[in-house]
Amino acid sequence: MKYTIKSPNQKYNGVSASVAFVEGVGETDSDYLVAWFKAKGYKVEADTEVVDKGEKPVEKTLSKMTTAELEAKAEELSIDLADCKNNAERAAKIADALELEE
């Protein structure tokens, strides 16, 4: 699903958490970035376009996530990544926590 992200600064032009903004508006299809932006006070709107029923959403594997996506996922799961030095360590810590939840 695509989401429209609205910056608190309506005139913002730039990139935040890998999302390009023009006049305060950006787009993403990442649920993890949506959580991150919501936590930072951005407004998020889900686009209401109809998706092909044969299409299944694919969740990005932890090893392919960006730093921002990993941090958003960790925040969503209440995982502290302060001691992690790189994305491999972040992904491993999240994976370990997910295994404990099952």
Identify which of 58, 46, 86, 55 has the alpha carbon closest to the alpha carbon of residue 70: 86
pLDDT of residue 42: 92
Taking all residues of the chain, what is their mean pLDDT, rounded to a whole number?
83
CA distance 39 to 76: 9
pTM: 0.47
Could you write out the DSSP letters of every residue in 38-69?
A: HHTT-EEEE--PPPPTT----PPPGGG--HHH
Mind listing the pLDDT tens digit for each residue in 39-75?
899 999 887 654 555 554 445 678 788 888 888 888 8
Specify the residue for token string 């990139």.
15
pLDDT of residue 75: 87
